[in-house]
Structure 1
């Protein structure tokens, strides 16, 4: 059963005879007759009583009541297939570290949906370790994050640098100090991101170079929450330069060698996508939003 056979059946109902239906559809009457015979063969019942008039059988009356819905469903499925073929319909699964969720990704998605209004997007937030695992498990198409330690399974395209930043309560003694060294930090308890955060690993590497250690090294998985934990305390928070601060805390300048972390597009190697052109469009918009050359 195909669409032409169903349209022929519906047109006979509307016009009342095979001949007028053939005339309306610009077919020979034999073509209409053949289409109805094929339709009857496909569904296994006779639809019209044989004769000059287009008189329906009982089975024909059942089909007549549903033919409009069947044709509409056929058209809907056809449009869906065309949309998929043209990469207009589908879903993208995107991951991002916390710092790009306030502006970069929301702005990019608004611009993307202006071009692809029927595409849906699923967003996951986490650190680089978490997002890279989701990519390997085929739960993300790509992510904006740092470069994983084991990059053999990925293609990483650097886009910008995030600077490691230190924050303290505004009444903290370090606020009065000039030329703060990393060793000065070690006299206070430190709060940083989770153990799998890239900047936590950077901090751990720095700590390994000193015999002294902070009294406590606490971790908070959500970096944006760290300023709330250090207010009204003597703790030092380790965040990123893009982290929004609350009025009670301020940044302090700490001497560090190369305090930068690369952030970029992380994609799996050798994986095909049903929405490849939409994926590339969104990535190009993200590049523009960040200000990186293509």
Structure 2
């Protein structure tokens, strides 16, 4: 079993198809099939259930997948550590919340790229739960998420704090009581979003059960529907204030107990903190602090 076999195995597992894996790796399909068969023969177990629509991991395949991800990451990390000198370079895979990516990341990425152009940055967005999972699976070197994050395998660095506010269409009057929220649709991100959890915790604390919840995949979708009067949402004030340049929105302050949410940069404890990562954290903290001073 060599590294390339594991890469092929993970590609097939990820794509759920030998054909798509072959296209992704730019291999001949028959070659991929032979390598998988040889790997199964070597390990004396079936790794995939073959189906007409594709392939699906067996129990043994699931076990190998978890080890293969660690083995490939450690091989890549060994190369990074041995070549990690004083100047950051090479790939850096970062994850971020949609809201952080929209408001905070542009200045961070611009500053970082200007200082370290030899680093090949890539970005993935998702909810806090999704990003935590990707970091744990070694698919990201680190990610911006909202606190709290409690996992013994993760190391967290607080880089800044976001203030959350309830936002509605500017056409709506101020709410006399929070009971008025019962008449609105709650516009939220998918389950796993920390801001959604914060909103649900606040409503529970207020004793309010919303009439309806509508889920979205993007911040633009939520803000557009808030503007149209479809409902209300809980978002960072930095996002809302930027959006008011284009949309007619109204901000409603909620209980201080639920307004402050630290933004964390998380990474696995068992990974080497490269110069590229440490410099990214440093610049992120500086840019967050700079933005916070401008917002005062």
TM bin, normalised by shorter chain, reads 0.5 to 0.7
| CA distance 1:260–1:118, change in 2 (3 Å) | same
Matches within 5 A, 1:1-294: 84-86=83-85, 88-172=88-172, 175-177=173-175, 180-233=176-229, 235-243=231-239, 244-245=242-243, 247-258=246-257, 259-272=259-272, 276-291=274-289
Does structure 2 conserve the Cα–Cα contact (< 8 Å) formed by 1:223 and 1:239?
no
Unaligned 5+ runs, structure 1:
1-80
| CA distance 1:168–1:113, change in 2 (3 Å) | closer
CA distance in 2, matches of 1:123, 1:130: 14
Give TM-score, length-normalised by structure 1: 0.62
Structure 2 residue matching 1:264: 3-state secondary structure = strand
| Superimposed CA distance per residue, residues 28-57 of structure 1 (whole angstroms, 9 cap, x where no aligned partner) | xxxxxxxxxxxxxxxxxxxxxxxxxxxxxx
Does structure 2 conserve the Cα–Cα contact (< 8 Å) formed by 1:162 and 1:261?
yes
Shift of residue 250, structure 1, vs aligned partner:
1.3
Number of equivalenced pairs? 206
CA distance in 2, matches of 1:264, 1:288: 14
CA RMSD between the two structures: 2.7
| CA distance 1:99–1:235, change in 2 (3 Å) | closer
| Superimposed CA distance per residue, residues 191-221 of structure 1 (whole angstroms, 9 cap, x where no aligned partner) | 1222211121122222334554222111212
Structure 2 residue matching 1:233: 3-state secondary structure = coil
With 233-242 and 89-98 compared, the bigger mean Cα shift is at 233-242
Unaligned 5+ runs, structure 2:
1-79, 291-296
| CA distance 1:209–1:140, change in 2 (3 Å) | same
Runs (4+) of structure 1 moved beyond 4 Å? none
Q: Which has the larger radius of gyration?
A: 1
| CA distance 1:230–1:85, change in 2 (3 Å) | closer
